Amino acid sequence: MKFSCKKEDLLQALNLVSRAIGGQQALPILGNILLEAEGKRCTVSATDLELSIITSFGANIENEGAITIPAKAFLNFAQYNSDDEILLETSEGTQLKCTSEHAKTVIAGESAQEYPTITPIEKETSLTLEAPPLLGALHMVTFASARTTLRPVLSGVYLRAEKGQLIFVATDSYRLSEFRITAEGGGTDISCIIPVKVLEELRSILSSRKTDAEKKGEDKKEKVGKIEVALSSQQIELRVGNTILLSRLIDGKFPDYQQIIPSETKTTVVLPTKELTTTIKRMHYFAKEINNNLTFEFKKGHVRITTPQTQAGQDETTLSVSIKGGDNKIALSSSYLLDFLSHVGDEEVEFKLTDSMHPALFHLPSNDLFLHLIMPLRIQEE
């Protein structure tokens, strides 16, 4: 194998695929990256057997071939090389010579035949998604999924099709986010749980493309493009330009979350996002002493927010708000509120309450296809 390429193209590909390499590898070779030169393109791949990332870029290929190289050594060479062009060639079968104007590095690799085969999925359902709404959905949903695998179905995002819409849902059983977008193609026969890791990697790719377009003054929609999604009974494939993400789906039944969404609410409050966030950040210092407990009391055009009395002290604030319906009271986690508010770009959030025993519902005035739910805590008596 022998080819030359731009250092920037190689570094971008290595940074992207290395995200599929976990900290704990079941097999040592899973710490490697697979490099394949064929035709006029170089393909770079990595996998942890659950998530695989494959991307490619144009290269001047003299001899086709393949090799697998330790990711850390390869990244180290590309990151700390200031030359624009790089020549890569194999020698003695499993060594990769990396040559540029001011550097000559030899990295010990392994035969490409030793690397696990990344098998394309057998497509049963396919659809195409526009990047901007998908990016919005991922931003507002993925943070609510569980970060442990005690209940595997909660460590993913539930995706289902309904009446021409795709519905994304994530919950850790204490809070929940739901976001709806329209989709091209595909039928109504979609119901699966996608590991949150693959969706976070997709969000990262889409965000970087959007940022690149903004820096270059290009049309963001054109730059980010569309995402092609293919599903089988056990896998999902996400294709963005020259990059493919392959992942196993999570096996199991997602909870019937709709039964916990209040069908009727007693009180609706519109709160200023920035002021509310600043207030909760201050009060979180005391709230975190007792289960992140913050009590909200809505009455006559204002909300009184209090923390329990703790050894560290106590905090209280009153905000003027727009209230529809009766007076109400609820205790919520300051940590979950801050997590939610950090993802909100709107100037205001709508807060709907039934009572202190039912979940609080949050909506955004700019998007009626999104809802966020936080379960209540026990109100601490003053």
Q: pLDDT tens-digit profile of 257-307?
A: 999 999 899 999 999 999 999 999 999 999 999 999 999 999 988 999 999
Q: Which CATH class is domain 261-374?
A: alpha beta
Tens digit of each residue's pLDDT (9 = 90 or more) over 331-382 = 999 999 999 999 999 999 999 999 999 999 999 988 999 999 999 999 987 5
What is the model's pLDDT at position 208? 87
Contact 128, 50 (CB under 8 A): no
How far apart CA 330 and CA 353 sit, in angstroms, is: 8
In CATH terms, the fold of domain 2-114 is DNA Polymerase III; Chain A, domain 2 (3.10.150)
Contact 360, 333 (CB under 8 A): no
What mean pLDDT, rounded, does the chain reach?
Answer: 92
How far apart CA 204 and CA 341 sit, in angstroms, is: 20
What is the model's pLDDT at position 93? 84
Q: What is the DSSP letter of 131?
A: H
What is the model's pLDDT at position 118? 92
Helix (DSSP H) and strand (DSSP E) numbers for the chain: 7, 27
Contact 326, 266 (CB under 8 A): yes
Q: What percent of the chain has pLDDT over 90?
A: 81
In CATH terms, the fold of domain 125-257 is DNA Polymerase III; Chain A, domain 2 (3.10.150)
What is the model's pLDDT at position 31? 95
- Cβ-in-10-Å burial (0-12, 13-18, 19+) of 91 comes to exposed
How far apart CA 352 and CA 272 sit, in angstroms, is: 14
- Of 51, 198, 50, 183, give the one whose Cα is nearest residue 138: 198
- pTM (predicted TM-score): 0.90
The tokens describing 46, both together, are: 């990595």
**Does residue 205 carry a pLDDT above 90?**
yes
**Does residue 200 carry a pLDDT above 80?**
yes
Where are the CATH 3.10.150.10 domain residues in the chain?
A: 2-114, 125-257, 261-374
- The maximal CA–CA distance of the chain, rounded, in angstroms, is 80
Tens digit of each residue's pLDDT (9 = 90 or more) over 96-147 = 999 999 999 999 999 999 999 998 898 888 888 999 999 999 999 999 999 8
How far apart CA 20 and CA 48 sit, in angstroms, is: 6
Phi, psi angles (nearest 5°) of residue 162? -155, 120
- Among left, alpha and beta (phi > 0; psi -120 to 50; other), residue 39 is left
**Does residue 63 carry a pLDDT above 80?**
yes
